Amino acid sequence: MTEFNADSMHRLAKMALDSGEATSPEEAVALFSRYRLRIHLGQGWATTLAGQACFLTVLNTAVRAFLGGVEVYGDLSYELNVPLYQGRSAQVVAEELGAEVSNSAASGLPTLVLGAAPEGTPPAFCVQLSWDHWRFEIAPAVAGGGLACVDDNPLAGIGAAALGVNEAFMHVRGDLAEAGHRSVGMSLWNPLALADWRNDAHKGPELAYLPKSLWLVGLGHLGQAYAWTLGLLPYPANGRPHLVLQDFDKAAKSNLSTCLLLWAADLLKPKVRALASRLEAAGFTTALVERRFGLGHRVMVEEPTTALFGVDNVVARRDLDTAEFSLVVETGLGSGYRDFRSIRLHTFPGPRRPSEIWTAESAAQASVELNDTYKKLADERQDICGMTLLASRAVATPFVGALAAVLALSEVMRPLHGGLVHAALDVQMKSLRHRTGAAPTAHQGLQTAFVQAEKRLSGPVPTRSSRSVLRAQHAAQDTRNHFCL
């Protein structure tokens, strides 16, 4: 029997224990091992970096949530141009990230579509992902239309990916009857635009400027999503950002279910070092801070003055009062099986200090209440402490972190393009109609240092070695029906 504990339990499968749906960790993982997903790559999916970022984010988040496997079908002949995977074959990366490459055009699996939709009758769940400028959308593939997928802003591609994987997960779980049968989207340029978010007034300008340096505080679920998002932005080869990476923890098995840049080979390694090696391989420069964030934090000369905060700790959040950052974007996520899709964001400086938002009383640790499932497990395994610790851990998944990351990076990048910031923003990922927040204002602090985004040719060309593969695929496809059954 596999030994499941707080450091090894899959953080999304844990929801089956919290809800009482499963009676043991083994049963919860077995349940989630039935969930599968298909990614259909139609013509045009790779012609923008936003499309490539969308594909990579769908893939990386889905393999950590759909434990039964992720299948990829379509044109994988392109070389990727995003910094994290520069010059790598899409097919090789798909296999390395844990997907199965399929040669069959027909499938009954829940399907997410990038690029042109499959021909013929689609499966029951077949959702198309689209993006344009700072906007992104998911909609039933049979509906056609969607956004133009032309302007190259990877933030929008990542946002579409996060919504798509979430929609598919709600479908396989039966969490929302309308999942896969609705259009959902938003604008990162104006996240509070609700009914009219598709209006051109909210599409935002062409992406031209990127943060030159940032301080990432906490390298768990959110910190990894921040780094992943930065690694997909159009940084020039000689202008990759400098990141200060701060965390004190080591990678545990449970982190593999939530952290987009951790793999099995990283287990028991300090997170800062595992992440630094991955980013440095992509041309980033890093400085490592292997201690807790705390009272009296100081920023030295030439260190980043803009921070992305991803620590789920009230005391640490209160200590932002004394931190000498000119701009902080702090993000928090829901932790229960009912609210793990909830995202709350704060930007500082703002109308209230961190210590006014998170009071001293709120820093007191709440006692953990065990449901009947955990009580039974504690009795059976004679381990009340272990089951209490497991019960205290949050339900979490990286497709929520990915959406939170693009919202947070947008608060940093919007002012670089003449836009505004939000002191507070609440997003309910299950129903984006319910997002709320403070009226946006101009950022009053020191401007984040920036570099110019690299202008890319639209439409990457397959490598010579991959053209023969592409021709063979097309020849094979001519002999098959292009149905997604």
- pLDDT of 2 reads 55
Q: Is 485's pLDDT higher than 70?
A: no
Do residue 346 and residue 429 come from a single domain? yes
Q: Is 479's pLDDT higher than 60?
A: no
Split into its structural domains, the chain has a count of 2
Dihedral (CA of 176, 408, 96, 39) sign: positive
Positions of E strands within 377-431:
424-428
Q: Residue range 51-68: average pLDDT? A: 98
- pLDDT of 296 reads 81
Q: Residue range 200-210: average pLDDT? A: 96
Residue 483 lies in a domain: no
The three-point CA angle 334-335-336 to 5° equals: 105
Do residue 255 and residue 336 come from a single domain? yes
- pLDDT of 473 reads 38
Residue 271, C-beta contacts closer than 8 angstroms, at least 6 positions apart: 219, 220, 223, 247, 249, 250, 251, 255, 259, 262
- Per cent of the chain over pLDDT 90 is 84
Residue 2 lies in a domain: no
Do residue 215 and residue 197 come from a single domain? no
Read off the pTM: 0.93
Residue 9 lies in a domain: no
Q: Is 367's pLDDT higher than 90?
A: no
Q: Residue range 142-155: average pLDDT? A: 89
Residue 146 lies in a domain: yes
**284 backbone dihedrals φ, ψ, rounded to 5°:** -75, 160
Do residue 123 and residue 227 come from a single domain? no
Task: Kindly indicate the confidence band of residue 301, based on its pLDDT and cuts at 50, 70 and 90.
Answer: confident
Task: Kindly indicate the confidence band of residue 50, based on its pLDDT and cuts at 50, 70 and 90.
Answer: very high
Q: Is 101's pLDDT higher than 70?
A: yes
Q: What does the DSSP assignment read for 146-192?
A: -----S--HHHHHHHHHHHHHHHHHHHHTS-TTTTSS-EEEESSSTT
Residue 142 contacts residue 124 (beta carbons within 8 Å): no
Distance CA 2, CA 9 (A): 10
Do residue 200 and residue 213 come from a single domain? no
Position of tokens 């229960």? 336
Burial class of residue 459, CB neighbours in 10 A (0-12, 13-18, 19+): exposed
pLDDT digit string, tens, across residues 75-98: 999 999 999 999 999 999 999 999
CATH number at residue 110: 3.40.50
- pLDDT of 218 reads 97
Q: Is 446's pLDDT higher than 50?
A: yes
Do residue 166 and residue 226 come from a single domain? no
What mean pLDDT is reported for the chain? 91
- pLDDT of 469 reads 38
Do residue 245 and residue 385 come from a single domain? yes
Tell which residue, 158, 23, 31, 108, has the closest CA to residue 484.
108
Tell me the three-class secondary structure of 204-262, residue by residue.
Answer: CCCCCEEECEEEEECCCHHHHHHHHHHCCCCCCCCCCCEEEEECCCECCHHHHHCCCCC
Residue 3 lies in a domain: no
Q: Is 253's pLDDT higher than 60?
A: yes
Q: Is 201's pLDDT higher than 60?
A: yes
Residue 133 contacts residue 186 (beta carbons within 8 Å): no
Distance CA 45, CA 78 (A): 10
Which residue type, as a one-letter code, is found at position 48? Answer: T
Q: Residue range 225-238: average pLDDT? A: 97
Q: Is 385 a catalytic residue?
A: yes
Residue 8 lies in a domain: no
Q: Is 470's pLDDT higher than 60?
A: no
Residue 7 lies in a domain: no
Burial class of residue 156, CB neighbours in 10 A (0-12, 13-18, 19+): buried
Single out the catalytic residue among 54, 149, 385, 484.
385
Task: Kindly indicate the confidence band of residue 363, based on its pLDDT and cuts at 50, 70 and 90.
Answer: confident
Domain enclosing residue 429, as ranges: 209-452
**197 backbone dihedrals φ, ψ, rounded to 5°:** -60, -25
Do residue 265 and residue 305 come from a single domain? yes
Q: Quickly count helices (H) and strands (E) in the chain.
A: 13, 17
Q: Is 464's pLDDT higher than 50?
A: no
- Secondary-structure breakdown of the chain: helix, strand, coil percentages, each rounded to the nearest 5: 35, 20, 50
Q: Residue range 365-374: average pLDDT? A: 87
Tell which residue, 437, 413, 439, 438, has the closest CA to residue 427.
437
Task: Kindly indicate the confidence band of residue 106, based on its pLDDT and cuts at 50, 70 and 90.
Answer: confident
Q: Residue range 220-238: average pLDDT? A: 97
Q: What Rg do the C-alpha atoms of the chain give, in angstroms?
A: 22
pLDDT digit string, tens, across residues 371-423: 999 999 999 999 999 999 999 999 999 999 999 999 999 999 999 999 999 99
Q: What does the DSSP assignment read for 318-347?
A: HGGGG---SEEEEEEE--STTTTTEEEEEE
Do residue 380 and residue 257 come from a single domain? yes
Distance CA 349, CA 91 (A): 44
Do residue 301 and residue 436 come from a single domain? yes
| Cβ count near 158 (within 10 Å) | 30
CATH number at residue 446: 3.40.50.720
Distance CA 46, CA 167 (A): 22
Q: Is 474's pLDDT higher than 70?
A: no
pLDDT digit string, tens, across residues 166-197: 999 999 999 999 999 999 999 999 999 999 99
Q: Residue range 50-77: average pLDDT? A: 97
Please state which of the ranges 24-38, 214-228, 335-349, 463-477 shows the lowest mean pLDDT. 463-477
Residue 442 contacts residue 414 (beta carbons within 8 Å): no
Residue 216 lies in a domain: yes
Do residue 177 and residue 243 come from a single domain? no
Query: Rounded to an integer, what is the distance from CA 277 to the centroid of its chain?
Result: 20
| Cβ count near 339 (within 10 Å) | 13
The token pair that represents 449 in the structure block: 């240092």
What order do you get walking across the sheet with 306-309 strand by strand? 285-289, 242-246, 213-217, 306-309, 327-333, 342-348, 424-428, 436-437
Q: Is 237's pLDDT higher than 60?
A: yes
Burial class of residue 62, CB neighbours in 10 A (0-12, 13-18, 19+): buried
Task: Kindly indicate the confidence band of residue 145, based on its pLDDT and cuts at 50, 70 and 90.
Answer: confident
Distance CA 7, CA 27 (A): 18
Do residue 181 and residue 156 come from a single domain? yes
